[in-house]
Amino acid sequence: MYLVCGEALFDFFAQADSNEQTNQVDFKAIAGGSPFNVAVGLRRLGVDAGLFAGLSTDYLGKRLKHVLLNEGVSDQYWLEIDAPTTLAMVALDASGVPTYSFRGEGCADRQLQPQHLPTLGPEVRGLHIGSFSLVVQPIADTLLALVQRESGQRLISLDPNVRLNPQPDIDVWRQRINQLIPYADLIKVSDEDLELLYPGQDPLQIAQSWLGQRCQLLFLTRGSQGASVFSRQHGHWSVPAQSITVADTVGAGDTFQAAVIAWLTEHGLDSIDGLQQLNNTQIAALLDFACRAAALTCSKTGPDLPYRHQLVL
């Protein structure tokens, strides 16, 4: 099992309105949040997954639980909290790239405290953390304590997934990412994240710095420019983006992350030792699988992550 840690919320997408004079705005609400999406994505790709999260007792929180249970995500690690569900207002530009505005202060997914940290058995092979749960309190310090406790015992994957609306101070993000890097075995980061965190710096130098710590494998996603992989043992290379008609890019990074973990799990390499055993051919196959999965999500509206049967080997 993989334990994904962090927020669960509802994305509210504004619907197109031909009459701009009306005082009504229609929304389509879709269950989401980066960690929520990764947990669902893992299940759809055939990997056992749990979600360590605070879920509201309100109507939307109940809907989140319903979705998770329907997808087969374990309910062993989430906590019910009497606070509202976070809302993310999503606007898409002409290229389908989302801009987010969050309503989350005091909401349930931020309320995990150190005393809520679960005891993990041997069935939990790895942890994944990412997005704004890394920097909003008290969950941020709770996840840092969890990673510090478990690093070296299980595979730790990290996706910064920087969102400035919940925490606009980039120095807070930078400080927390720098605290987490020494504990991460596997990192996925976007070019947008790197530019926000370390503006003007060479991605190769950043990758080499991270690979000089605990990290064995780093993926850099570049949107329409494809993706790159950096390996401590095997160097680095890039691949172009898949040729598709893009509906939007919502959930693409989460799909990429879930696909990386799923591929490693399928091949019995979802461990610290497993990452060290990867050869060039395997890394190339892993990168191809993750890129194809992300492209499939981009071809559909919203975070509609793919199922395993949709991705042939």
Instruction: Provide the pLDDT for residue 92.
Output: 73
Number of CB atoms found within 10 A of residue 89's CB: 15
Number of CB atoms found within 10 A of residue 76's CB: 14
Question: Does 19 score more than 60 pLDDT?
Answer: no
Phi-psi map region of 131: left, alpha, beta (phi>0 left; psi -120 to 50 alpha) = left
Cα separation, 52 vs 38, whole angstroms: 12
Buried b / exposed e across 233-246, counting CB within 10 Å, b at 16+?
A: ebebeeeebbeeeb
CA dihedral 203, 291, 97, 164 (to 10 degrees): -50
pTM of the model: 0.94
- Residue range 98-117: mean pLDDT, rounded: 91
Name the band, by pLDDT with cuts 50, 70 and 90, for residue 15.
low
Instruction: Provide the pLDDT for residue 23.
Output: 74
Cα separation, 303 vs 252, whole angstroms: 7
pLDDT digits (tens, 9 = 90+) for 203-249: 999 999 999 999 999 999 998 899 999 999 999 999 998 888 888 88
What strands lie across the sheet with 49-52, from one edge to the other? 49-52, 2-5, 126-130, 155-159, 186-190, 217-221, 227-231, 235-239
Q: What percent of the chain has pLDDT over 90?
A: 81
Instruction: Provide the pLDDT for residue 16.
Output: 62
As a CATH number, domain 2-11+27-310 is 3.40.1190.20
Cα separation, 108 vs 84, whole angstroms: 6
Instruction: Provide the pLDDT for residue 297.
Output: 93
- Residue range 40-68: mean pLDDT, rounded: 98
- Listed residue (5, 25, 22) closest to 14, CA to CA: 25
Question: Does 199 score more than 90 pLDDT?
Answer: yes
Cα separation, 82 vs 111, whole angstroms: 10
pLDDT digits (tens, 9 = 90+) for 118-153: 999 999 999 999 999 999 999 999 999 999 999 999
Cβ atoms of 37 and 254 closer than 8 Å: yes
Cβ atoms of 180 and 140 closer than 8 Å: no
Q: Where are the domains of the chain?
A: 2-11+27-310
